[in-house]
Amino acid sequence: MINEHPARPEIVVGVDGSESALHATRWAAREAESRNLPLRLVHVCEPPVISHPTTMAGQGTYLGALRDQGRHWVREAVAAAGSVAPTVPVAEVVRVGGAAAVMVEESLGARLTVLGSRGLGGLPDMTAGSVAVAVAEHGHTPVVVVRGRTLEDPPPAGGPVLVGVDGSPASEAAVEFAFDLASFRGTELVALHSWSEVSFDTVWTMLAFESDWHAVADEEHRLLNERMAGWQEKYPDVPVHRVVVRDQPVRALLKAAERTGAQLIVLGTRGLGGDLTGMGMGSTSRALLYQSECPVAVVRPNLKGDNR
């Protein structure tokens, strides 16, 4: 099977035979249709690690069976995509390797990577699988992890796009992604900036004298307005609601998503809390991948200007 990406970047979807991956496929198919992009449905066969001597013939047969199974799951996903977006071109891909590593590789050169929150493995009470979290952390494109209220529920179809804004380079990339998606979907954007007395440097400088929380709140409002101004000019069609709250960011975003019936929460890979290049995903993005009741998009900082 051909693995090179064609000149036109695609929306890549990880397919593993789970219901969650089919929700992800339908979400991606709608997105592909509205952007006039092809879909690339990828299943990665993970051969088991065999520590005892075995015959080559036996291994070949086993791998053949895994590939057959993978092709079947990909065809199932093709049908799911066709049910919502029948005209979108679809590439069917079956590869062998570690699922997370191959999906990260697949994201290179793609436009967007979409996964379900859970797969066929994992423990019953896990709320996000290891492949979903690893690809969100290391993928080369924005990564959408499709989630609903429960594992079986489809993700919400309507509602605004909610973006978390903290002023970091990654959140700037998230804001751009969120405006673009809200514009394509013809929906509203809710930009949320949360602050609390323990999380912002600006607060500490003001605290050196006294805790004037009204002044701090004014300053946080000003920061959010400043962050949004340029984007609102670029996307005048997108109505924007700005929310500034004094709360812990994960709780604030979960509450806002529920209150507004958000269809997607958009976050940067990491916020102000650490080195951009050396560290993986920040704790807010990680927590929401596990707790959100709607899809979550994780967007990496646009350091090289390559978030297309």
Ligand X SMILES: Nc1ncnc2c1ncn2[C@@H]1O[C@H](COP(=O)(O)OP(=O)(O)OP(=O)(O)O)[C@@H](O)[C@H]1O
Cβ atoms of 288 and 188 within 8 Å: the answer is no
Q: Map residue 121 onto helix, strand or coil.
A: coil
47-106 positions binding ligand X, by CB under 6 A: 99, 103
C-alpha–C-alpha distance, residues 203 and 212, integer Å: 9
Least CB distance to Mg ion at residue 151 (A): 13
Rg (CA), the chain: 21
Number of residues that bind ligand X (CB under 6 A): 24
C-alpha–C-alpha distance, residues 91 and 1, integer Å: 10
Least CB distance to ligand X at residue 221 (A): 38
119-158 positions binding Mg ion, by CB under 5 A: 119, 121, 129
C-alpha–C-alpha distance, residues 53 and 62, integer Å: 15
| Both tokens assigned to 55 | 């015959």
Host H or E run for residue 79? helix 56-84
Using rule CB under 6 A, residue 113 touches ligand X: no
Using rule CB under 6 A, residue 14 touches ligand X: yes
Q: Which stretch binds Mg ion (CB under 5 A): 21-29, 112-120, 159-167, 183-191?
A: 112-120
Residue 18 binding result from Mg ion, ligand X, none, given CB thresholds of 5 to 8 Å by partner type: ligand X
Among 10, 16, 137, 220, binds ligand X (CB under 6 A): 16
Among 131, 175, 178, 216, binds ligand X (CB under 6 A): 131
Least CB distance to ligand X at residue 138 (A): 13
Among 18, 113, 263, 307, binds ligand X (CB under 6 A): 18
43 vs 185 by CB, closer to ligand X: 43
249 vs 295 by CB, closer to ligand X: 295
**Non-local CB neighbours of 227 within 8 Å, separated by 6+ positions:** 165, 167, 171, 172, 175, 191, 193
Q: Which stretch binds ligand X (CB under 6 A): 26-34, 130-138, 199-207, 278-286?
A: 130-138
Cβ atoms of 216 and 201 within 8 Å: the answer is no
Q: Which stretch binds ligand X (CB under 6 A): 56-64, 84-92, 118-126, 234-242?
A: 118-126
C-alpha–C-alpha distance, residues 277 and 146, integer Å: 26
**Non-local CB neighbours of 41 within 8 Å, separated by 6+ positions:** 13, 15, 25, 74, 77, 78, 81, 90, 91, 92, 93
Among 12, 42, 161, 250, binds ligand X (CB under 6 A): 42
Using rule CB under 6 A, residue 147 touches ligand X: no
The torsion defined by the Cα of 103, 105, 106 and 108, in degrees rounded to 10, comes to: 130
* Chain residues in the site for ligand X (CB under 6 A): 14-16, 18, 20-21, 24, 42-44, 46, 99, 103, 115-116, 118-122, 129-132
* Chain residues in the site for Mg ion (CB under 5 A): 119, 121, 129
